[in-house]
Chain A
Amino acid sequence: MLHKSINGADDRYNVVVIGSGLGGLTSANRLARSGHSVLLLEHHHQLGGLATWFKRKGHIFDVSLHGFPHGMVKTCRKYWNRDIMESIVQLKNIVFDNPQFSLTTTFDRQDFTSILVNRFKISQATINDFFNTVASMNFYDDQSMSTRELFEKFFPGRDDVHRLLMEPITYANGSTLDDPAITYGIVFSNFMNKGVFTFRGGTDHLIGMMAKELVDNGVNICKNSKVDRIVIEAGKVRGVLVGDRFIEADSVVSNSGILNTIYDLAGKEFFPVEFLDKVKTVRVNTSSCQVYIGIKKEESIADIGDLLFVSTAEKFSSDELLDMHTRSRTFSLYYPKTRPDHNRYTVVASMNGKFDDWNRLNTNEYESEKQDMIDRTLVDLERYIPDVRQKIDWLEAATPKTIHRYTLHTKGTSFGTKFEGLDISRSIFKAIPGLFHVGSVGIIMSGWLGAINYGVIVANDVDGYIRSI
């Protein structure tokens, strides 16, 4: 059942899942399907976490539906259902436009190879070698090599090639040239292998289908239910506190951020010192800014591509992308084909961003920085749609503070933690039996596909634990 408040919850469950991001939703679904009683608690009034949308003046804006890898097809079929799988469609026109190159690609290995050979004059052998090297990378491999070193090894001095290979991944998961090459390899192989995909019907449709599947499988869902504490007794998980309501559980799966889970929900006094020492080294990833642009009902815009990576910065640098005044952004174009029964056009611009840059501003400065960001975005968009200003009837911006407000994540992180967070997330149940974490960590477990697959991996741990007690 789907409830609007905690009043719909019973007193005891095998599993309580805290948070309804894609990781939490998937763990809940797997565990219910394998026969456990599951309660899913979400502090927001909408399910989905960062996989979210909002409505304004007849527009529906998608926040994180810009593109995901082909692997989602199999993952949705196995862990959700065929209807969800069948709504996945390819985005065929991916555009790069910057001072170093302008091109359109289908974003698959074949097309990248021909672009690298014909435009960038890289030898076929080097390209094959590069693709095979990244494809064989595993997360237990050596992590001392950085992505920068990987690029220098294969494409020395070619910052144009580095840009082509890195820019989309920086937008996809906030990683930089200094992150381990293996995190790049794993994500790149997923993404740039078989193209970029989206969900026909939009995020609202996907989350609606997932909610139905969960209810059909017997998951009890309570929205507007913020968990205040995970209750731990005698070194083990006993349940959760939501306001003054205690709900008993054999195990708790937290889809809240990993640091929120340890410091705010569980309390660091319950963890061994050696574990906490490792937690202290975990760096949260960066955050995002977005500008949402709604086109008037009677207007349309020409097809300029599905996903545009645009920049007026001479050279690519991770710092430039993260700068508050970055000259690099992506435009996601939502034509009527996105939501076939909703005949509207919207554009969403996304930028990377740092929480502290926005958090230190006073109210006036914050509002004026937001307005400046909107203005810069429109100037960029006019290069592709010259008359776009007259066609707009909604403009709005989101910052790292907005993301923090909705997800509660430490510093509004969009992509969880850097690599070291994965080990903490994977081993938390060894520190406190019955306590599990699911959700974006370690770069590789983030994004829609990463979060869903991680939900499955964690559900397997939880199932093993419950069946052993």
Chain B
Amino acid sequence: MTIDEIREVILEIIRDIDDEADLDNLNSGEALRDQLDLDSMDFLDIVMELRKRYQIQIPEEDYPQLATLDSCVNYLMPRLKAA
């Protein structure tokens, strides 16, 4: 997958979690948590959805790397290259 495709996947998963999330004005270098109404349960949903779609296992100690949209993309890029 390309960077843009991965970004789109993440946004789509967030939209499924919260259909009222304002994704148009998202700053991709800033914590998702601070900009959207996301809590730790929502991050768990993202992890579970990624595992379901792409069979990637994200261990709990890596969760901090999903903090911003950019860091999500960086973290997932090597893992989703072949997807």
Report the bound CA distance from A35 to B48 in whole Å.
12
Report the bound CA distance from A34 to B41 in whole Å.
16
Contact B45–A78 (Cβ < 8 Å) = yes
Given contacts A453-B41, A467-B55, 16 further A-B contacts (CB under 8 A): A30-B48, A34-B48, A34-B52, A75-B41, A456-B41, A456-B44, A456-B45, A457-B44, A459-B48, A463-B48, A463-B51, A463-B52, A464-B51, A467-B51, A467-B57, A468-B57
By a CB distance below 8 angstroms, the chain A residues around B52 are: 34-35, 463
Contact A460–B48 (Cβ < 8 Å) = yes
Please encode chain B, from 5 to 42, with 1 for each CB lying within 8 Å of some chain A CB and 0 for all others.
00000000000010000000000000000000000010
B77 at the A interface (CB under 8 A):
no
**Those of B28-79 within 8 Å (CB) of chain A:** 41, 44-45, 47-48, 51-52, 55, 57
By a CB distance below 8 angstroms, the chain A residues around B44 are: 456-457, 460
The 10 A-B pairs of least Cβ separation, nearest first, read A460-B48, A34-B52, A460-B44, A464-B57, A463-B48, A453-B41, A467-B51, A468-B57, A467-B55, A463-B51
Report the bound CA distance from A463 to B47 in whole Å.
11
By a CB distance below 8 angstroms, the chain A residues around B45 are: 78, 456
Interface centre among B41, B44, B47, B55 (most CB of A within 10 A): B41
User: What is the interface of chain B, defined by CB distance below 8 A to chain A?
Assistant: 17, 41, 44-45, 47-48, 51-52, 55, 57
Name the residue of chain A whose CB is nearest to the CB of B47.
Answer: A460
Shortest beta-carbon distance from B50 to chain A in Å: 11
Sample of 15 A–B contacts (CB below 8 Å): A30-B48, A34-B48, A35-B52, A75-B41, A78-B17, A453-B41, A456-B41, A456-B44, A456-B45, A457-B44, A460-B44, A460-B48, A463-B48, A464-B57, A468-B57
User: What is the interface of chain A, defined by CB distance below 8 A to chain B?
Assistant: 30, 34-35, 75, 78, 453, 456-457, 459-460, 463-464, 467-468
Shortest beta-carbon distance from B42 to chain A in Å: 8
By a CB distance below 8 angstroms, the chain A residues around B55 are: 467
Report the bound CA distance from A25 to B8 in whole Å.
32
Report the bound CA distance from A463 to B44 in whole Å.
12
By a CB distance below 8 angstroms, the chain B residues around A30 are: 48
Shortest beta-carbon distance from B34 to chain A in Å: 14
Report the bound CA distance from A463 to B51 in whole Å.
8
Report the bound CA distance from A467 to B52 in whole Å.
9
Interface centre among A453, A456, A460, A468 (most CB of B within 10 A): A460
Shortest beta-carbon distance from A86 to chain B in Å: 15
Report the bound CA distance from A34 to B48 in whole Å.
9
By a CB distance below 8 angstroms, the chain A residues around B51 are: 463-464, 467
By a CB distance below 8 angstroms, the chain A residues around B47 are: 460
Interface centre among A35, A75, A456, A464 (most CB of B within 10 A): A464
By a CB distance below 8 angstroms, the chain A residues around B48 are: 30, 34, 459-460, 463
Report the bound CA distance from A48 to B55 in whole Å.
32
By a CB distance below 8 angstroms, the chain A residues around B41 are: 75, 78, 453, 456-457
Shortest beta-carbon distance from B44 to chain A in Å: 5
Report the bound CA distance from A456 to B55 in whole Å.
19
By a CB distance below 8 angstroms, the chain A residues around B17 are: 78
By a CB distance below 8 angstroms, the chain B residues around A459 are: 48
By a CB distance below 8 angstroms, the chain B residues around A460 are: 44, 47-48
Shortest beta-carbon distance from A18 to chain B in Å: 22
Shortest beta-carbon distance from B22 to chain A in Å: 17
By a CB distance below 8 angstroms, the chain B residues around A456 are: 41, 44-45
Name the residue of chain B whose CB is nearest to the CB of A468.
Answer: B57
Report the bound CA distance from A457 to B60 in whole Å.
11
By a CB distance below 8 angstroms, the chain B residues around A35 are: 52
Shortest beta-carbon distance from B17 to chain A in Å: 7
Report the bound CA distance from A78 to B57 in whole Å.
22
Name the residue of chain B whose CB is nearest to the CB of A457.
Answer: B44
Report the bound CA distance from A35 to B47 in whole Å.
16
Report the bound CA distance from A78 to B55 in whole Å.
22
Report the bound CA distance from A68 to B82 in whole Å.
45
Report the bound CA distance from A372 to B81 in whole Å.
70
By a CB distance below 8 angstroms, the chain B residues around A463 are: 48, 51-52
Report the bound CA distance from A354 to B57 in whole Å.
44
Shortest beta-carbon distance from B66 to chain A in Å: 14
Report the bound CA distance from A460 to B48 in whole Å.
6
Interface centre among B17, B44, B47 (most CB of A within 10 A): B44
Shortest beta-carbon distance from B36 to chain A in Å: 13
Name the residue of chain B whose CB is nearest to the CB of A30.
Answer: B48
Name the residue of chain A whose CB is nearest to the CB of B45.
Answer: A78
Shortest beta-carbon distance from B35 to chain A in Å: 17
Shortest beta-carbon distance from A167 to chain B in Å: 27
Name the residue of chain B whose CB is nearest to the CB of A461.
Answer: B60
Name the residue of chain A whose CB is nearest to the CB of B52.
Answer: A34
By a CB distance below 8 angstroms, the chain A residues around B57 are: 464, 467-468
Report the bound CA distance from A105 to B57 in whole Å.
46
By a CB distance below 8 angstroms, the chain B residues around A75 are: 41
Shortest beta-carbon distance from B37 to chain A in Å: 9
Report the bound CA distance from A453 to B40 in whole Å.
11
